[in-house]
Amino acid sequence: MKRTLVCYTLSLGVGIWIILYTLFPSSKDQDDAFKQGRAATSYLKEVSTLPCLLLSSSPNWFQNDYKPMSDQERFREPVRPKKAAISFQSCSVQNLGVDEQLWGELGQSGDKQALLGAIAQSLGYLQSEGAAAAYQRYRVAEVTRERVYRSLLRFRQLVLWSRSPSQLEAAVKREFVFYQSVGKDGLGNVLFTAYYEPVYAASRVPTPEYRYPLYRRPSNLEDWPKPHPTREQLEGNDGLQGSKGKLRGLELFWLRDRLQAYMIHIQGSARFVLPDGKQTTVGYAGHTAYNYTSIGRSLADDGKLPLEGMTMPKILQYFKEHPADLNIYIPRDQSFVFFQENHGEPATGSISVPLTASRSIATDKSLMPPGALALIRAPFPFKNTKGEMEFRSVSRYVLDQDTGGAIKGPGRVDYFLGTGDEAGDRAGVTAADGQLYYLLLKK
């Protein structure tokens, strides 16, 4: 039996790879159909009804002949489906539900408490008025807030009781139904990127060293006439003209570097180290009514960087070598984000709960169930003993707790990797295809 899910919740979050999002656009036809209220496209399907197809153009650790591929190889190769006979034996059962990281793997200690903490955050959200409103808009009656809540409660019990990855896998398969995202191609192929919480030096007052401000949400933002002012109109080409217009008096913090300030617009949150050594945090508080414009794509369109193999480190290096070009490319992104001080609280997702490193994801909340339990399977980068990045296969239980301005359609997931430089290094090179599943208790 096929089951479908279309959900209508709307919120905004941000992640590092939205800078590159337009390199991987979602299906316009799907978006148009959704906006017109037609449910012709099924965004989630029960695993047992899906064809066993994988894509040979992406590093896929389920294939018997899997080997890591460079960005150039991955983006150059055409997308071709592989038959199950040469990929893996049974797409509905093989290793579906494994999560060895709970007990420790890949040189890392187990993070069972982190997963339990993320579950607790989702359980709290699901009891809120916001969750009640979000799930009332679901078109499929069987996908309810109550069922998602019960699924989390039961899964938490299984995590606490299980003594090994195989024991948890068996219990989950016995009691849960897996729904796989149809992905960006209808074959379950989902592009995974990653985001993080940066740590920057900042000041509460402007100085010759700290010149680039972040801004509070205007109290009358809802009354601003549309079209809203663009980024250039709000802060100028150089990012220093905000005090001359609508942003006057809304300055929240100042940073040393314009690109750092802009990256916080992309991330949606940051941790600041103040001149006196104290720390605080900021988070997303609102945005103007413009879609994000990728500066990565703009650089490629202008021939500044090749489209193939583009990564965040390459973009950052380009602007390090050509700082004057920030005044050209940042203003091309007409969208503008406002912030609030969170006084040391952790980064928060679009459902207003703290994000958990390696256990929270961002998806399109107009399609995917907020706060729900999910399973992701894809290659992600890890630093080896030499400090070099290596892609390793990951199977993780996660909670769907955030969204992003460029995380659109059933074929996109942003994976939260935590706080600080190492998380940023990993997020900056994350781009791989994998699978996304949601878990609900059997009826």
Cross-strand partners of 203: 254
Four-residue CA torsion sign, 363, 6, 374, 71: negative
Question: What is the structure's pLDDT at 53?
Answer: 38
Highest mean pLDDT among 305-319, 344-358, 419-433: 344-358
The pLDDT of 244-250, averaged and rounded, is: 96
Distance CA 140, CA 152 (A): 19
Looking at residue 41, its amino acid is T
Lowest model confidence (mean pLDDT) among 100-104, 113-117, 416-420:
100-104
Report d(CA 412, CA 418) in Å as an integer: 19
Residue-level pLDDT at 293:
87
More confident residue, 46 or 119: 119
Highest mean pLDDT among 27-41, 166-180, 228-242, 411-425: 228-242
Across 83-92, 251-260, 313-322, least confident range: 83-92
Whether the pTM exceeds 0.95: the reply is no
What's the longest Cα–Cα distance across the chain?
65
pLDDT band at 31 (very low <50, low <70, confident <90, very high): very low
- Given a cut of 80, is residue 37 above it in pLDDT? no
pLDDT of residue 379 exceeding 60, the answer is: yes
Contact between 355 and 402 (Cβ < 8 Å): yes
For residue 376, the one-letter residue type is: I
Angle in degrees, 0-180, between the axes of helices 421-428 and 312-321, rounded to the nearest 10: 100
CA distances (Å), origin 63, targets 94, 193, 391, 398:
12, 21, 15, 23
Q: How confident is the model at residue 72 (pLDDT cuts 50, 70, 90)?
A: very low
Which tens digit of pLDDT belongs to each residue from 211-232? 999 999 999 999 999 999 999 9
What's the whole-number average pLDDT of the chain?
81
pLDDT of residue 405: 74
Structure tokens at 415: 């994976």
Percent of all residues in the chain with a pLDDT value above 70, rounded to a whole number: 78
Q: What is the pLDDT of residue 84?
A: 26
**Higher local confidence (pLDDT), 51 or 298:** 298
Higher pLDDT residue, 249 or 137?
A: 249
63 pLDDT more than 60: no
The residue ranges of DSSP E strands in 309-372, in sequence order, are 337-341, 360-362
315-325 exposure pattern, b = at least 16 Cβ within 10 A, e = fewer? beebbeeeeee
Give the pLDDT mean for 11-35.
41
Tokens 């896929």 sit at which residue?
Answer: 60
Q: What is the mean pLDDT of residues 236-257?
A: 97
Cα 241–chain centre separation: 31
- pLDDT at residue 21 is higher than 60: no
Residues 394-411, mean pLDDT to the nearest whole number = 90
**Looking at residues 297-319, what average pLDDT do you find?**
90
Q: Is the pLDDT of residue 106 over 90?
A: no
- pLDDT recorded at residue 48: 53
- Residue by residue, DSSP assigns 198-215 as -EEEEESS--SS--EEEE
Residue 186 in this model has a pLDDT that exceeds 80:
yes
Q: What pLDDT is recorded for position 300?
A: 94
- Tell me which of 345 and 59 has the higher pLDDT: 345
